Amino acid sequence: MNDRALARIDLSAVQRNCAELKRRLGDAALCAVVKADGYGHGAAWCARAAIAGGATWLAVATAEEAADLRRHGLRERLLVMGALTGEEVELALAADADIVVWHRPFAEHVARRAEAAGIHARLHVKLDTGMGRLGTADVSEALDVIELAREDDHLEVAGVMTHLATADDPESPLFDEQLERFRGFVEQARRSAPGAIAHVANSAAALRSVDSHFDMARCGIAIYGLDPFHRDPSLHGLEPALSLESYVADVKALARGDGVGYGRTWTAERDTHVAVLPIGYGDGYRRGLSNRAQVLVGGRRYPVAGTISMDNITVDVGAGPDVAVGELATLIGAQGDERVLAEELAAALGTINYEVTCGIAPRVRRLYLHDDGEARSDD
């Protein structure tokens, strides 16, 4: 019998994806973004695989995520990209992580915390070139932070950065505009911080244009084998690392007109059978996929029939089903020549692949695999 809900994570695929990204980056460093528990894949596990594939930096969103990586023995350079409270600054500094700043009051706060801890804080100054979120849009304000760090013995400008808004949209002119604004900022910043590394590229930019590579690229979604352009990762030489599985718990015969599930949103148009899979939105298989998605059983596609509930879904497997109780069911991943990509589910939901994998719930057991056959569970 298969697991009720199981996510298999192919760490060798993560390693190969990083090797492919590093090949494309050339001399630029690869920073593997492992925030949000590695986009649902497992942060520490995927961080190790990314490093084996050529990543030399890791990035997260929160101070606690940085501390957790350190608890798991990761010692690589680590960047915390999100906004931090006072206590979170202390936690990030204790984790020996670099911190993102963009205005003088916060940089001064970091300096006081660093002085109290008797340590040296490494800063990455963020210019908002068009994203409209964190970072200052005022170049003079960003340069003022760099000047402060140059004068303060407890601060060092380790990097300058920005965040691209439309790298995944080849039709948007903002991509080139942001790169041009950032390039001008880098030239000015290096007059006071000549050793600072410049980084802007996300996964889409790293694959799209060498002009975005600068000294380092911060790649997230691509290291997990998901397409930053929301189509097919194989077009970029990437391999999906995650598969989501359940099993057939029951097969039920239905007559024409019979319905299944809450609200009876689906009724049989003919005599048929439904397979019941013990997985649902409580596991992160979203309710919005009701009557819209397909799953794989025995290497064939079958449509989800009826409303997805918290713990079960039903699948129309036909009048003469070739499906038996206990068979493996794949909700994301491949069976034989058939595959269901996270991008396919994202399109059905009107969202992006990031949200699909990040939404896989903690109660889904993760199984980590290597090409050499080693497998370890997160249990």
Which residue from 222, 183, 216 is spatially nearest to 201, judged by alpha carbons? Answer: 216
Question: Which DSSP category does 95 fall into?
Answer: T
Please, are residues 325 and 249 in contact by the beta-carbon 8 Å criterion? yes
Residue 262 annotated as catalytic: yes
Strand partners, 211: none
- Please count the residues of the chain: 379
Q: What one-character-per-residue DSSP string does 35-62 give?
A: HHHHHTT-HHHHHHHHHHTT--EEEESS
State the pLDDT at residue 324. Answer: 94
- Full-model pTM: 0.95
**From CA 323, how far away is CA 329, in angstroms rounded?**
10
Per-residue confidence band for 372, with pLDDT thresholds at 50, 70 and 90: confident
% of the chain residues with pLDDT over 90: 96
Please tell me the number of Cα atoms within 13 Å of 241 on its side-chain side: 33
Q: In this predicted model, what pLDDT tens digit does every residue of 40-97 receive, in sequence order?
A: 999 999 999 999 999 999 999 999 999 999 999 999 999 999 999 999 999 999 999 9
State the pLDDT at residue 316. Answer: 98
State the pLDDT at residue 116. Answer: 95
Please, are residues 103 and 141 in contact by the beta-carbon 8 Å criterion? yes
State the pLDDT at residue 320. Answer: 84
Q: What one-character-per-residue DSSP string does 175-231 give?
A: HHHHHHHHHHHHHHHHHH-TT-EEEEE-HHHHHH-GGG-TTEEEE-GGGGT--TTSS
State the pLDDT at residue 377. Answer: 78
State the pLDDT at residue 379. Answer: 56
Q: What one-character-per-residue DSSP string does 291-353 give?
A: TT-EEEETTEEEEB-S---SS-EEEE--SS----TT-EEEEEEEETTEEE-HHHHHHHHTS-H
Pick the CATH number of 242-377 from 3.30.70.360, 2.40.110.10, 3.30.420.480, 2.40.37.10: 2.40.37.10
What mean pLDDT do residues 314-329 have?
94
**From CA 225, how far away is CA 228, in angstroms rounded?**
9
Residue from 22, 35, 126, 224 carrying the catalytic annotation: 35
Q: In this predicted model, what pLDDT tens digit does every residue of 107-157 receive, in sequence order?
A: 999 999 999 999 999 999 999 999 999 999 999 999 999 999 999 999 999
Superfamily of structural domain 11-224: Alanine racemase (3.20.20.10)
Residue from 22, 224, 247, 262 carrying the catalytic annotation: 262
**24, containing H or E segment:** helix 11-25
Which residue from 243, 271, 268 is spatially nearest to 340, judged by alpha carbons? Answer: 243
Residue 368 annotated as catalytic: no
- Domain ranges (residues) in the chain: 11-224, 242-377
Q: Is the pLDDT of residue 375 over 80?
A: no
- Which is it for strands 57-60 and 29-33: parallel, antiparallel or unpaired? parallel
Contacts for 112 with CB less than 8 Å, ≥ 6 apart: none
**From CA 247, how far away is CA 257, in angstroms rounded?**
26
